[in-house]
Amino acid sequence: MSSFTRSTTAQSTRRLKLATWALIAALAGSGLAACSPTVEYRGYLPSQNALQQIQPGMSKTEVEALLGSPSTTATINYSGDSYYYISSIVEQSSFLDPQEVDRSVVAIRFSQFDQVESFAQYGLQDGQIIDFSSRKTPTHGKELTILQQIFSNIGRFNPGTPTQ
């Protein structure tokens, strides 16, 4: 075998190994990238500096100028209005359901004269999950699978009384 053929074969082998390792690295990199979660930031959270400037007695317009427009307001204005600034962080990994990992609610309550009466900041640990529509009707008794329903009738067959 000539030296030219040996060097060409050695170069082809090296190129094949290099291509194989490049393919393995690309597959491993794309596999790791698929596992990293997608992070979504939802809502508006005022800065801590702006929140520290809120004082009892401030007017609604001063609060709006400082914090911006609220995410929502109180639906019932019984003894004064309320502003709510809501934000959350949601992570989703590949095909799994999204998980809320952080939530912040700033509640500012106003008096009947539209002045700050009190304010509070709530987090994810302060919330409660309320299921408005589960689409399930609670029933009493056992839930049987299709196989349990089929085989539960074995031995219980009652043909009834014969007619003459």
- DSSP string over 8-48: HHHHHHHHHHHHHHHHHHHHHHHHHHHHSPEEEEEE----H
Instruction: Say if 145 falls within a structural domain.
Output: no
Predicted pLDDT of residue 21: 87
Q: Judge if 59 and 109 occupy the same domain.
A: yes
Instruction: Say if 81 falls within a structural domain.
Output: yes
The list of the chain residues with pLDDT below 70 reads: 1-7, 31-34, 129-139, 141, 155-164
Q: Judge if 14 and 60 occupy the same domain.
A: no
Predicted pLDDT of residue 138: 65
Predicted pLDDT of residue 97: 86
Predicted pLDDT of residue 54: 92
Q: Judge if 63 and 120 occupy the same domain.
A: yes
Give me the domain span that covers residue 79.
Answer: 37-128
Predicted pLDDT of residue 78: 75
Tell me how many domains the chain contains.
2
Strands (E), the chain: 38-43, 72-73, 82-92, 99-110, 116-123
The CATH number of the domain where 45 resides is what?
Answer: 3.30.1450.10
Predicted pLDDT of residue 134: 66
Q: pLDDT tens digit string along 112-157?
A: 899 999 999 998 888 776 666 666 666 676 777 778 877 777 766 6
Predicted pLDDT of residue 57: 93
Query: d(Cα 54, Cα 70) in Å, to the nearest integer?
Result: 14
Instruction: Say if 148 falls within a structural domain.
Output: no
Predicted pLDDT of residue 14: 83
Query: d(Cα 118, Cα 104) in Å, to the nearest integer?
Result: 17
Predicted pLDDT of residue 24: 84
